[in-house]
Chains A and B, each alone.
Chain A
Amino acid sequence: METASATPVSAGLTGSTLQAPERRFYRHRLPIRLMHWINVVCLTILLMSGLNIFNAHPALYWGQGSTFDRPWVSIGAENTPSGPIGKTQIAGHDFVTTGVLGLSEVDGAQAARAFPSWATIPGPQWLAMARHWHLFFAWLFVINGIGYVLYSLFSRHLVRDLIPTKDELRRIGASIRDHVLFRHPTGEAAKRYNVLQNLAYLIVIFGLLPLIIVAGLAMSPRLNAVWPGWVELLGGRQSARTLHFLAAFGLLGFVLIHVFEVIVAGIWNEMRSMITGWYTLPADERRTAREEGRP
């Protein structure tokens, strides 16, 4: 975020219509915008091709090897007297998930598959192809991520915009209240990421993403040989597969909340700022009212 280049474009009255003072603000610089959209493409493809890979063996374990008779998560189809059902087992609890997990429709016919074809790349069950997609975009994603971290360090994006100040941290309670009430910062306050936003970004950038990358690397048999035994730091290869899967869903959760916040905060303004860089600061209602002489 660029805090110095706020430029008031118009303020006050235009004709007889009351208009809030508008401030255009150059929020996201080109490298950030570019890397953001590369991330969108990579994350979408990585998640969906990852679900196709998961479908090849729809079960998760903890430890070095697979305990085939007792996975802690498994998704499958089962025959019952009233027809086939989709079943999801999590830590010993069974859930009927027909239609989405375990059993779903593919081209008009019921198919036994863990994640449905609308959620996977490619749509059909095709492990070899899903791996090609996944491993290509994993490289792109990691290179983009390294570029982002370096850029954030050298451009001071990290220190200036991402790391919350002590003062912001102290007001975290107020920020939580604002989020729950869908109150969004206006005026000058809208120039900075809010503290919950900061924490969410930092957890993703320095928590979930390194975890998903390391857990992904831990599944490679050749990389296991870098330093025999290192995979046990994650609990073993099957634990690494579990962590990779959980981190993926953590990222999905982040993306859903992120997109939700974009929509409620003003989708066109937010989208414009991530495409062109320019963001319109939402009017500060109280100040506008004061300036206009309203009570």
Chain B
Amino acid sequence: MKNQKTYTLMRARQRDRRHLLRGAVAAAGSALLTGCDRLSSNEAFVDVLKSAQHLSRAAHKIVAPRPAMAQEFTPADVAPVFRSNGTLDPTDADYRALRQADFATYQLKVGGLVEKPAAFTLAQLRALPSRTQITRHDCVEGWSCIGKWTGVPLGLLLDRVRPLPQARFVLFRCFDSMDGPSLDGRDSRYYESIDFDDARHPQTILAYDLNDRPLPVSNGAPLRCRVERQLGYKQAKYVSSIELVESFSQIRGGKGGYWEDEGYEWYGGI
């Protein structure tokens, strides 16, 4: 009788302990989740998290210095269809007009902190020395696609316009409004920026051909940027003009690009 009672008591205590343990694990789990979600909207904390990109970039520059080349592939590696992402068909009126004319009236304006601002038609760009490269495009989402790009090295255009000493970044302005054409005057056109290490890199080109054919609209016609050592969102499509700037902190959201303003890292090498 007494033994039975002790046994029941023991079992109850064990059960309590098990419940306590299970409860503690569940409570810790939900505290972890709500805690992390709350921290994700705490600006100071997110700044601490984002500081890791400076460490990554500094480390990358040591192990893969400025001239380090991205891997190039063989024609056999080229994907049958190059996946397109982001804007697939800009609806902006100025772009539609250019497209209707087969981009014959397109002009790439290069200005900002330069000695000699210039504009280039597609025919002029095609007449300049070109570079062809088969490279792998890595999207921030996780997928990769291999394509063959032909275009004019950005460094060559920079030589023509002669950057001023205070110019630190190359900013690409694009035709496509990410939220569709603006109705309320809010500018949502895509834009991107890179530093001179990447701008002067031999594999950084303004591509007009993909897989030996004129760049399709879904991949950024008539001209898109290739920055081969960074993620896909750095490869601006539908480039309308290039501007050399000292800082991008006063431009749009101040983070140097459309996705950067939405919270992605400016440094897209990782």
State the A residues within 8 Å of B (CB). Answer: 44-45, 48, 53-54, 56-57, 59, 61, 64-66, 68, 118, 121-124, 126-129, 131-133, 135-136, 138-139, 219-226, 228-229, 231, 237-238, 241, 267
Given A65-B136, A122-B40, decide whether A221 and B33 contact each other with a Cβ distance below 8 A. no
| Contact with B262, one of A124, A128, A132 (Cβ below 8 angstroms) | A128
Residue of A59, A65, A128 touching B263 (CB-CB under 8 A): A128
In the complex, chain B residues whose CB is within 8 Å of the CB of A231 = 71
Are A221 and B229 interface neighbours, CB within 8 A?
yes
Q: 10 closest pairs, A vs B, by CB?
A: A222-B269, A128-B263, A228-B71, A57-B142, A225-B68, A132-B49, A57-B141, A66-B143, A136-B52, A56-B141
A66 touches B49 (CB 8 A): no
Question: Of A53, A61, A222, which contacts B229 at CB under 8 A?
Answer: A222
A57–B142 alpha-carbon span in the complex (Å): 6
With an 8 A cutoff between CB atoms, is B15 at the interface? no
Extra contacts, 15 of them, besides A136-B50, A219-B270, A221-B70 (Cβ < 8 A), are: A64-B73, A66-B83, A68-B143, A129-B46, A131-B264, A139-B52, A139-B55, A220-B56, A220-B270, A221-B136, A222-B64, A223-B60, A225-B228, A229-B71, A231-B71
Could you pull out 17 A-B pairs where Cβ atoms are within 8 angstroms? A118-B29, A121-B40, A122-B37, A127-B264, A128-B265, A131-B264, A132-B50, A136-B49, A221-B270, A222-B60, A223-B64, A225-B71, A225-B228, A226-B63, A228-B71, A237-B138, A238-B143
B218 at the A interface (CB under 8 A): no
Q: Is the CB of B141 within 8 A of A226?
A: no
Q: Is B179 close to A, CB under 8 A? A: no
A127-B140 contact, Cβ under 8 Å, with A223-B60, A225-B70: yes
Name which of A65, A228, A231 has the most chain B CB atoms within 10 A of its CB. A65
Taking CB atoms, residues of chain B closer than 8 Å to A131 are 140, 264-265
Separation of A231 and B39 alpha carbons in the complex (Å)? 35
Q: Which residues of A contact B268 (CB under 8 A)?
A: 221
Does A238 lie within 8 Å of B144, measured CB to CB? yes
Q: How many residue pairs bridge A and B at CB < 8 Å?
A: 137
Q: How large is the interface on B (under 10, 10 to 19, 20 to 34, 35 or more residues)?
A: 35 or more
Shortest distance between the CB of B52 and any CB in chain A (Å): 4
Residue in chain B with minimal CB distance to A224: B71
Main SS at interface, chain A = helix
Return A237 CB to nearest CB of chain B, in Å: 5
Closest chain A residue, CB of each to CB of B145: A65
Asked whether, in the complex, the Cβ of A223 is within 8 Å of the Cβ of B145, the reply is no
B231 — nearest CB in chain A belongs to which residue?
A: A221
**Closest-CB distance, B35 to chain A (whole angstroms):** 10
Interface membership of chain B positions 133-154, coded 1 if the CB is closer than 8 angstroms to chain A and 0 otherwise? 0001011111111100000000
Give CA–CA (A133, B262) in the complex, Å.
16
Docked Cα-Cα span, A231 to B72, in Å, equals 12
Query: For the complex, what is the distance from the CA of A126 to the CA of B46, rounded to whole Å?
Result: 13
Q: Is the CB of A129 within 8 A of B32?
A: no
Partner of A133, one of B49, B73, B270: B49
Expressed in whole angstroms, the minimum distance between the Cβ of A140 and any Cβ of chain B is: 9
Residue numbers in B under 8 Å from A53 (CB-CB): 142
- Report the minimum CB–CB distance from B51 to chain A (whole Å): 8
Q: B77 near A: Cβ within 8 Å?
A: yes
Are B77 and A64 interface neighbours, CB within 8 A? Answer: yes
**Contact (Cβ within 8 A) B77 A126:** no
A64–B40 touching, CB < 8 Å: no
Scan B53-72; emit 1 where CB is below 8 A from any A CB, else 0: 10110001001100011111
Q: A229 contacts which chain B residues (CB < 8 A)?
A: 71
How distant is the Cα of A59 from the Cα of B139 in the complex, in angstroms?
A: 13
Asked if B142 and A135 make an inter-chain contact with CB atoms under 8 angstroms apart, the answer reads no
Asked if B36 and A45 sit within 8 Å, CB to CB, the answer is yes
Tell me, yes or no, whether B230 is within 8 Å of chain A by CB.
Answer: yes
Structural contact, B36 and A121, CB atoms closer than 8 A: yes
Cβ-based interface call for B1 (8 A) = no
